[in-house]
Amino acid sequence: MKKSSLLPVLLAAVVLVAACQKSTHAPSPDVRVVSRTSLPADPNDPAWSTVPVHVAPLVLQDMVEPRLIQASTAQVEVRAISDGSRVVFRLSWADGTKDDSVRPAHFSDACAVQLPAKVQTDVPAPQMGEAGKTVEITYWKASWQASVDGRKDTIKEVYPGAAVDHYPFEAASLPTDSDAQKEMALRYSPARALGNTMAGPRKKPVEDLIAEGPGSLTPAPAGTSDGKGLRTEKGWVVVLSRAMPAGLNSSGRSQVAFAVWEGSHEEAGARKMRTGWVPVVLEKKS
């Protein structure tokens, strides 16, 4: 194409971009946290339609072993609303397969929002923070959502054809729902006996975590986050509600990062698609 014929096309493109930027639906270069008096708890709440969207491209986690070698989820769309004391992020991404159970070689879809624990000029490393520079993570998992939504805590929910002769906690000498029966069940469920937050059953589909570098992920001492995920025809829409992050006040800017795990791609832990730090700005109340 000659230069003379290219010019009108470029001009038209500039006009189109300018027009889109006036719309509330135009992609925002940073994550803009919009102020509202009430926080939407549902991914389909109409309030989300008035919030600017930030489209965050996802990159491979290929910094530390185990690494993800083949890319999966391309991007995640992010919206955010705050009432001044809490902030809710809405993440949506395309995912052709619904993976909401975990079993051998089968993994759950999941997503997470990460923020620095403190405001500091030198931000933590975007991949799970670093020693002395803690990051806070709110993590949502599709299998936990299924548990919250009513999936029973039995092996038949995972394998409908399973036939089990007997569990020790079903002994006739142990009354149903008695403490003795629960104690017997815990004997054969060490992760639950130790209070491992992974071990379910779940009351919330999300978990508060902190980290100071790869491999250091730990449940936060006091988790106040909550959330809800919905499966759509195209993928997942998830809201994650958490306490207001440090530094994210009316005059402050902070950083936020996102991660998405594609269960059917055997993604878990460090094998994930992630962003680097994305600027996050709290809009002043109008």
Partner 1 sequence: MARVHNWQIGREMSYWYPESRPSRQFAAIFDINKCIACQTCTLACKTTWTSGRGQEYMLWNNVESKPYGFYPLAWDLKLLKELGPQEWKEGTYEGRTIFEAARPGERALGWRPDDIDYANPNVGEDDCVGQVENGAGLEVPHLNWFFYLARICNHCTYPACLASCPRGSIYKRPEDGIVLVDQGRCRGYQECVKACPYKKVFFNPMTGTSEKCIACFPKFEQGLQPQCFVNCIGKIRMAGWISPPDKARPDNPIDYLVHIKKIAKPLFPQFGLEPNVYYIPPIHAPSSFLNQMFGPGTEAAIKAYRNADDDLAGLLALFGCTEKVMPRWKRQGDMVIAMEENGSEMLRVPMREPVHIRPAFDIRHGVTRTNCP
Interface ranges with partner 1 (CB under 8 A): 62, 64-69, 101-107, 143, 153-155, 158-159, 162, 164, 167-169, 185, 187-196, 198-200, 214-217, 266, 268-271
In angstroms, how far apart are the furthest CA atoms of the chain? Answer: 90
- In the bound state with partner 1, the residue whose beta carbon lies nearer, of 42 and 170, is 170
CA-wise closest residue to 27 among 39, 17, 14, 12: 17
- In the bound state with partner 1, the residue whose beta carbon lies nearer, of 48 and 169, is 169
Min dist CB 236 to partner 1, Å, is 19
Min dist CB 198 to partner 1, Å, is 4
CA 79 vs CA 2, 48, 241, 252: distances in Å? 41, 7, 12, 18
- In the bound state with partner 1, the residue whose beta carbon lies nearer, of 20 and 193, is 193
Query: Would you state the structure tokens that stand for residue 245, as one six-digit string?
Result: 């992050």
- In the bound state with partner 1, the residue whose beta carbon lies nearer, of 78 and 137, is 137
- In the bound state with partner 1, the residue whose beta carbon lies nearer, of 75 and 197, is 197
Q: Which residue has the tokens 């965050």?
A: 56
- In the bound state with partner 1, the residue whose beta carbon lies nearer, of 79 and 271, is 271
Min dist CB 2 to partner 1, Å, is 45
Q: Please list, in sequence order, all residues whose beta carbon lies within 8 angstroms of the beta carbon of residue 255, skipping any fewer than 6 positions away.
A: 115, 116, 123, 126, 277, 278, 279, 280
How far apart, in whole angstroms, are the C-alpha atoms of residue 64 and residue 66? 6
How far apart, in whole angstroms, are the C-alpha atoms of residue 86 and residue 208? 14
Half-sphere exposure of 279 (CA within 13 A, CB side): 8
- Before 245, cis peptide (omega within 30)? no
Min dist CB 225 to partner 1, Å, is 17
- In the bound state with partner 1, the residue whose beta carbon lies nearer, of 217 and 282, is 217
CA-wise closest residue to 280 among 30, 83, 53, 57: 30
Min dist CB 121 to partner 1, Å, is 29
Query: Would you state the structure tokens that stand for residue 227, as one six-digit string?
Result: 């959330």
